[in-house]
Amino acid sequence: MTSRTQVRTQVCIIGAGPSGLLLSQLLHNAGIDTIVLERQSGDYVLGRIRAGILEQGMADLLRQAGAGARMDREGLVHEGLELCFYGDRRRVDLKELTGGDVVTVYGQTELTRDLMDARKAAGGITVYEAANVAIHDPAGDHPRVSYVKDGKTHEIACDFIAGCDGYHGVSRASIPDSVLRTFERVYPFGWLGLLSDTPPVADELVYARHERGFALASMRSQTRSRYYIQCAFDENLKEWTDDRFWDELRRRLPEELAAALVTGPSLEKSIAPLRSFVAEPLRHGRLFLAGDAAHIVPPTGAKGLNLAASDIQYLSQALISFYRDKAEEGLDGYSAKALARIWQAERFSWWMTMLLHRFPDSSPFDARMQRAEFENTTRSRHALANLAENYVGLPY
């Protein structure tokens, strides 16, 4: 039989990824007590290779949380990006089109490390390897969260629960089917990604559409590159040697970039499926969903991590207003406010995905429409401005 201990906090945060840690820091700065639970180890969380493009709003939130100093020193500020269609290169000047907004290249691993360090410096409690996490009475006045650690069952009594535990976490699963509605589109391909300690092939990100499929040339620093190619969703990763990947990437990049590509051994290789997913509502009683627990976007628009940040902005403001002013309007409006921005980001990510990928059932007409959309977008200042405004991030 396991023993049971109980503690109390104001907000229990489930998930110690960027969403949960960012929320914990923003609340800590406002004097609100939190406990963060994470089912994996800290090393496992840091080992996940994820996004690296931060919107202006995400970068500002990191600074507000007190975790932006290293990003400001080491992050790469990008004022534009390139779209390529069958070798035809067009630059999108983000800064000029938006009146000054930019994006920052800074890997999610480094961002997470910074937030972990800030949490530790603040003396906050983070419980890693918390097993069997369960949410109790989320719709009541006294919600609780239980978990098992070192053979003992622990319980946290709290005012609110923030579900930042990802697509497969317990938080969304704790909302009854009669309350929750989900929307999903699964795309018939994936992204094969390779990370290498090689200099980037270009100074800015390059999104390329080729007859063989999509490719993306990205980076994490001036000496570390991240490349992607479209592949079948059921591709066998073991069949993709480094040499095969580099050869395929060269085929899909414009000739001048292919000739300049510096190759090297992979540090990591993986295949990510592409899907669009949204859950509604984002609140059930005193349980709030944020980040991947609430939504998934295809990575084409660089919105996943950034969309989680806007959730956290809205949720942190609502909780701070509740504790500071006893006001519940922010909590009551959180779901609708966050979902309005979520669906805009879903639209942009869907549009980028439709524009730049080769679909297996695509007809010659569909191919011509993709080309027409590319021309319409890159030759119209209004269309380019819309692309740029979405890419750097819509206002919170």
- The set of catalytic residues is 78, 207, 299, 303, 391
Phi, psi of 219 (to 5 degrees): -155, 165
Do residues 302 and 357 lie in contact, with contact meaning Cβ atoms separated by under 8 Å? no
- At 387, which helix (H) or strand (E)? helix 381-392
What string of DSSP letters covers 99-155? TS--EEE--HHHHHHHHHHHHHHTT-EEE-S-EEEEEE-TTSSS-EEEEEETTEEEE
- Residues forming a β-bridge with 110: none
Do residues 161 and 12 lie in contact, with contact meaning Cβ atoms separated by under 8 Å? yes
Length in residues, the chain: 396
Cα radius of gyration (the chain): 22
Is residue 105 classed as helix, strand or coil in its secondary structure?
Answer: strand
Q: How far apart are CA 270 and CA 265, in angstroms?
A: 14
- Residues forming a β-bridge with 105: 53, 76
CA distances 375 to 304, 369, 379, Å, are 27, 10, 6
Q: Which residue from 320, 316, 235, 367 is spatially nearest to 23, judged by alpha carbons?
A: 316
- Residues forming a β-bridge with 160: 11
CA distances 313 to 64, 294, 328, Å, are 10, 15, 16
Do residues 110 and 70 lie in contact, with contact meaning Cβ atoms separated by under 8 Å? yes
Tokens linked to 267: 């540090």
Tokens linked to 152: 């003992």
Amino acid, single-letter form, for residue 275: R
Residues 77/98/345/116 CA torsion (nearest 10 deg): 30
